[in-house]
Amino acid sequence: MPNPASNQGDLALDDIPADPPVRFAEQALLGALLLEPLRIKTLGPLGPEHFSVAMHGALFAAMSALTPPVPEIHAREPVWITALLDRARPHARGLTASYLHTLTDACPNPSHAPAYAQMIVANRARLTIRAAAERLVQAATDPVLPDPAAHVLRCSDVVAAVLDDLAGLFPSHPGSLPRTVLPPPPTRDAGTGTDAAGEEHLLLSTVAAHPACLPEMRWLRPEDFTVPLHGVLYRCMASLAYRGDPIDAVTVLWEAQHHGLLASGTTAREVLDLLATPAGSPEHWGEQILQRSLLHHAHTTGLHIRACAEDPTNTPHQLITGSRRALADLGAVRARWQHATRPPSAVHPRAKTAPASRAGPPTPRTTPPAVSTRASR
């Protein structure tokens, strides 16, 4: 099958596979540097990797590597054009002298080169954030990862590092939040509904049989559960524990009645059956539930950041601000996950100092002044 592009000697403006806005910005910038080479010193942090078209990046790399001619020589002789073609052609297929003239025609004003460069950097920033968000989504939905929580947290750190690196490149301005219509959160039990419901069932039964664990499991929240009924029952148990009331299947059933659970169609027998089969450790089931909630929030965060990055109406500053806000929502769940999985040795030092702070000033702190006073007398 013939290739239509092979019949053309030069690339026309419409042949370059890039989004129109950044395409014209790249053409305008390269045209400005062809007309006034010394303006390359005014562009700031711009590199060949920022260009969306490989040929444009190769041409800019040649411009960056070569010494621009002085204006007097550049006005008389085509030394700049010749040097660029010799340097860039091995890395840019299809680059011709005719296309360089096309680039100069695409530049409205060479003095606007810094503005064109900023547009190119902004487009690259958008693509970089979108790629990082995509990796976060993939990590949150990969069913074969050996340690999904750790992998997701590393991906979220990468997103945060990308945002920090880009934040200094773009000035802040009013109206910094993006107006993108965010996609709805993904279904909580997609692909793992049976496992999630079973683990939540075991947690409720085991906590009802061993309620002493509840004060140590404050890192688990009702909203972490995939089944709303299970989250309400866990809230009932937490309420009983907070008040210091006894906890068993019957007291939880009574508390559930006060929460309106029985009025919503759930029967008393269904509640008692959910609390009748304890097995394993409450902390283990709780960590499984919290990990699933962490992955869900990471998935949602990645989708939100990706949606903002794909919305061309957002400025780079709006994109960075909105992405940081999405990461903050994930950070709240992350903090609870780190508290739940903290090694026991990391908890003991705080446990020793906590009683003294709650009890007020310890006695030894008032003794030294009295001793020093006697010594002075």
Query: Is there a single domain that holds both residue 66 and residue 161?
Result: no
How does DSSP assign 140-174, residue by residue? HH-TT-SSHHHHHHHHHHHHHHHHHHHHTTS---S
Query: Is there a single domain that holds both residue 157 and residue 69?
Result: no
How does DSSP assign 231-271, residue by residue? HHHHHHHHHHHHHT---SHHHHHHHHHHTTTGGGT--HHHH
Contacts of residue 319, defined as CB under 8 A and 6 or more positions apart, other chains included, come to 125, 126, 129, 178, 308, 309
Pull the structure tokens for residue 155.
């991906």
Query: Is there a single domain that holds both residue 93 and residue 145?
Result: no
Query: Is there a single domain that holds both residue 23 and residue 166?
Result: no
Query: Is there a single domain that holds both residue 164 and residue 249?
Result: yes
Query: Is there a single domain that holds both residue 53 and residue 160?
Result: no
Q: Kindly state whether residue 275 falls inside one of the protein's structural domains.
A: yes
Produce one character per residue of 253-265: b if its CB has 16 or more CB atoms within 10 Å, e if not.
Answer: bebbeeeebbeee
Query: Is there a single domain that holds both residue 152 and residue 82?
Result: no
The CATH code of the domain that includes 224 is 1.10.860.10
- Residues 102-133 have pLDDT tens digits of 999 999 999 999 999 999 999 999 999 999 99
Q: Kindly state whether residue 364 falls inside one of the protein's structural domains.
A: no
Q: Kindly state whether residue 361 falls inside one of the protein's structural domains.
A: no
Query: Is there a single domain that holds both residue 91 and residue 142?
Result: no
Q: Kindly state whether residue 226 falls inside one of the protein's structural domains.
A: yes
Identity (one letter) of the amino acid at 72? E
CA 158 to chain centroid, in Å, comes to 7
Q: Kindly state whether residue 354 falls inside one of the protein's structural domains.
A: no
Query: Is there a single domain that holds both residue 162 and residue 271?
Result: yes
Cα separations in angstroms, 171 against 112, 123, 255: 18, 15, 54
Contacts of residue 208, defined as CB under 8 A and 6 or more positions apart, other chains included, come to 237, 247, 248, 249, 252, 275, 278
CA 154 to chain centroid, in Å, comes to 10
* pLDDT tens-place values along the chain, 377 residues long: 444 443 444 445 444 444 568 999 999 999 999 999 999 999 988 999 999 999 999 999 999 999 999 888 888 888 999 999 999 999 988 899 999 999 999 999 999 999 999 999 999 999 999 999 999 999 999 988 889 999 999 999 999 999 999 998 887 777 678 888 888 888 876 444 458 899 999 999 999 999 999 999 999 999 999 999 999 999 999 999 999 999 999 999 999 999 898 888 889 999 999 999 999 899 999 999 999 999 999 999 999 999 999 999 999 999 999 999 999 999 999 999 999 998 766 544 444 443 433 333 444 444 444 434 333 33
The pLDDT mean for the chain works out to 85
Looking at residue 5, its pLDDT comes to: 41
Contacts of residue 106, defined as CB under 8 A and 6 or more positions apart, other chains included, come to 13, 24, 27, 28, 31
Residue carrying the six token digits 């002044």: 369
Q: Kindly state whether residue 5 falls inside one of the protein's structural domains.
A: no
How does DSSP assign 176-188, residue by residue? -S----PPPPPPT
Q: Kindly state whether residue 229 falls inside one of the protein's structural domains.
A: yes
Determine the Cα–Cα distance for residues 290 and 234; give it in Å rounded to an integer.
13
Q: What is the pTM of this model?
A: 0.79
Determine the Cα–Cα distance for residues 122 and 25; give it in Å rounded to an integer.
11
3-state secondary structure of 47: coil
3-state secondary structure of 289: helix
Determine the Cα–Cα distance for residues 353 and 67; give it in Å rounded to an integer.
65
Query: Is there a single domain that holds both residue 34 and residue 144?
Result: no
The CATH code of the domain that includes 51 is 1.10.860
Contact between 178 and 318 under an 8 Å Cβ cutoff? The reply is yes
Q: Kindly state whether residue 337 falls inside one of the protein's structural domains.
A: yes
Number of domains in the chain: 2
Query: Is there a single domain that holds both residue 31 and residue 160?
Result: no
Query: Is there a single domain that holds both residue 224 and residue 283?
Result: yes
Determine the Cα–Cα distance for residues 8 and 279; give it in Å rounded to an integer.
73
Residue 146: domain span: 131-172+183-342
Determine the Cα–Cα distance for residues 85 and 62; give it in Å rounded to an integer.
9
